[in-house]
Structure 1
Amino acid sequence: MADDSAASKAGLNEPLLPPAFEVSDNNTGAYALLTAVIMIVIAGLAICVKLQMTAATFRKLRLDDVALIAALMFGLGYTIAICRAVRYGLGSVAAELTSTQVRLLSQHYYASNILLYLSLASSKCSVALLVIAFKPARWISLTLYSTLAITISWAIAATCVVALQCEPNRWAFGPTSNDICIHQFESQIALRTIDIVIDVVLSVLPAIMMAGVQVSTVKRLIVAFMFAIRLATPVFTAYAIASLDDFYGATVAGRPNKLVAPSIWNSVAVNVSLITACLPSIKRFLTDWAAGIANAGMVEPYELQSSVDRSKIGQSYGNRSFARFQTRSNDMMKSDRAAGVSYSDYASREKDDQDRGADDGDSKKGLTDGIMKTIDYHIEYDKVRKRREGSMSSEVKESSDEGNHEIQHIP
């Protein structure tokens, strides 16, 4: 206890600070912050893998990569704006907020909406440019270029509608005695409907393109599936539209607390749009990663079992090989004895082989190191007997080189 008190006096054990964003009945903004941060981290990792694979393959950035980087920057700005909005009271009860907090909250929320549409449009452009890089059929290319032009026009229109929806305060939550706003919910439905249609077109066109490519059916389905995963983005967009109904249906004072659900679904939609834009390019990475995860638990037992099996197989194969070699040697010796070959003939053969090996030049040394040569002898007994019954002068020749007599058997 004395040590603890001394440590406390020394400042080593500082008291824990309260959480920066605590969830309560009157404040649920931490959910929006947590969702936005987690999703942007996952999207950032996917984009980094995609850019790394593109750089390793093409050694340069392509147009779809530039559009994807822009989408990531806008998405990161959207996440920062949501975090700042949570700091100033997003998810809280308006009665607990000051007028300054409400003003800053509305400013950051409107900034997040503008960045949301810019990020969505950039990711759509990245997908369109990626499919165009495949050089599809002419009508598909024209459709993609038209989709690209519609996406850019939609992004400009969405930015203007969100930025100019209320006068004179551009950041107002809704119409008050001093502000005049357009019908916000209907404008959001129109903008997000176009968003859904563009995503559906970008998901269907690659499947049509792959139908005419001469590859296996499995590969065709895999590529089409990688592009079709983008259909998940319209699903989250539909949830965001449904949540906006509660937000715009509430009073101006109650809107800060109703912002949590739209912010969560918008964060998921924009980051899923970024992730799905990367999937067709990182298919190989995902396949290798999935295979490594699936085989991680069985590699070591499999290697141990396979090594044991190989040792058993090698041992049994060695025993069988030695038995066959011994049987063959015995058969050769019996056949040689039947043909009249004596031990002196074996010694003479061995001596001749050694003499010929000694006469080889230095250039041939070491050329056959580590090479095992096996010679199989086949003896026909009838022919041997006939040759032995014939004239010995045709089979045996005498040579008197250097006073030595050498017997050579002519095959």
Structure 2
Amino acid sequence: MDCRLYPIIPQHLGRITQGSASHFSSRMEDHSAAIKIICWFLLIVSAGAVGTCLLTSWHLFKRKTLVVALLLSTLLSSIVSGATVSLAATRGLGQSSLSAVDSENQLSGLQQAIYISDIFHVLTLGLGKIALMALFGMILSGTGRTGVALIVEGFLILWTVTMMIAISLECHPPEVWNLVSGTCLDAALWTYFGATNIVIEALLLLIPSVVVYRLHMQLRKRLVVIGCFSVRILDIIVSAIQLHYVEAFDARSSLPVDLWPWIMCSQVLQTVTIISACVPYLREFLEAFPSGMFQPAGVESSGLRYAYGSTRITDSDSTTKQGHELYYLKHSV
């Protein structure tokens, strides 16, 4: 055998090794499979939270269809958003570059899936906040302090609708979904959305806490109620992290590479929003709250009012049943 053939073998081995390393590197930069797995896992967690909430408190909510409808609507909107993100991952989201997207039709489908997901992302966050304030308004019905809850609910509805309209028109028609080559608002709109979302979450934590602190309740029960609302701190943290990735909307040439962290933050934020909206529906929270919505059995709701912001009780007829202390003031006959 000619010894001059031997140097050829290392050259071929070098090419094979280099090609394998390049293929391995591209596989490591492909996050599409992880995106799909995480999305469906988060949807399962969200569905479990809503299901647990309704099952544990169904006897309290079977006549309160509004709060149930809002919770289910929030979950449904989150499912649509998560499913479209999974579809976007199938079409190239999380790939190493736009060159990994096989065709123009696939790129168009990717952008349309992101567009739909963004709209339902905003809807999910809005419905989650409205569901929380709807419950808060109902449990305040016996205190005569529902005005604050109604004002906040109205503001949340207005904020949700206006943000959905703005995001649905993020890019110039007719291709309102074309983030890569269309004329779009880029990161400015999403920066505004993220900042206002953080401010609103802070208010949803502050306002109920102040109102509850002024109620005539035991300190332990007030802390339980405030603690349930304090779970919304997680929403603020995730929103701040998501805001860090908002500049990805400016990097149009590498949309699948730069945008997927922001989208994954949006999915985590939706799950956290649903969980934080479900926590106040837990039995311990509801039974700690003095409200005509959840009075003990055997007491007629038509003859009840509740003390607010004062320790003075005008009627000596107080009732303590089912292990929680609520003070009832009977209407004068």
How far did residue 102 of structure 1 move? 0.6
Partner SS, residue 222 of structure 2 = helix
Superposed, 1:100-249 pairs within 5 Å as 100-135=105-140, 141-167=146-172, 168-174=174-180, 176=181, 179-181=182-184, 183-245=185-247, 247-249=248-250
Scaled by the length of structure 2, what TM-score is found?
0.72
Of 56-65 and 274-283, more deviation after overlay is shown by 56-65
Q: Please tell me whether the aligned partners of residues 78 and 113 of structure 1 are also in contact (alpha carbons under 8 angstroms).
A: yes
Q: Paired residue for 2:54?
A: 51
How far did residue 265 of structure 1 move? 0.7
Q: Please tell me whether the aligned partners of residues 186 and 250 of structure 2 are also in contact (alpha carbons under 8 angstroms).
A: no
- Of structures 1 and 2, the larger Rg is shown by 1
Partner SS, residue 180 of structure 1 = coil
Unaligned 5+ segments in structure 1 are 1-21, 286-411
Q: Paired residue for 2:309?
A: none
Q: Does 1:99 align with 2:104?
A: yes
Q: Please tell me whether the aligned partners of residues 49 and 282 of structure 1 are also in contact (alpha carbons under 8 angstroms).
A: no
Q: Please tell me whether the aligned partners of residues 74 and 118 of structure 1 are also in contact (alpha carbons under 8 angstroms).
A: yes
Deviation sequence 1:11-44 (CA, Å, 0-9, x none): xxxxxxxxxxx99234112332222211221111
The code of the aligned residue for 2:213 comes to A
Q: Paired residue for 1:39?
A: 42
How far did residue 58 of structure 1 move? 4.1
How far did residue 283 of structure 1 move? 5.0
Q: Percent identity over the alignment?
A: 19
Deviation sequence 1:76-95 (CA, Å, 0-9, x none): 00110011000000011211
Higher relative contact order (CA 8 A, sep 6+): 2
Change (3 A) 1:59 1:163: closer
Q: Paired residue for 1:267?
A: 267
Aligned residues: 257
Aligned partner (choices 64, 77, 80) of residue 77 of structure 1: 80
The code of the aligned residue for 1:230 comes to R
Deviation sequence 1:119-140 (CA, Å, 0-9, x none): 11111010001110112655x5
How far did residue 65 of structure 1 move? 1.7
The code of the aligned residue for 1:203 comes to L
The code of the aligned residue for 1:83 comes to S
How far did residue 257 of structure 1 move? 1.3
Q: Paired residue for 2:295?
A: none
Q: Please tell me whether the aligned partners of residues 121 and 155 of structure 1 are also in contact (alpha carbons under 8 angstroms).
A: yes
Q: Please tell me whether the aligned partners of residues 23 and 30 of structure 1 are also in contact (alpha carbons under 8 angstroms).
A: no
Deviation sequence 1:164-202 (CA, Å, 0-9, x none): 11123111114x3xx322x32111111222222222222
Partner SS, residue 254 of structure 2 = coil
CA distance in 2, matches of 1:28, 1:64: 37
CA distance in 2, matches of 1:228, 1:144: 17
Unaligned 5+ segments in structure 2 are 1-24, 286-333
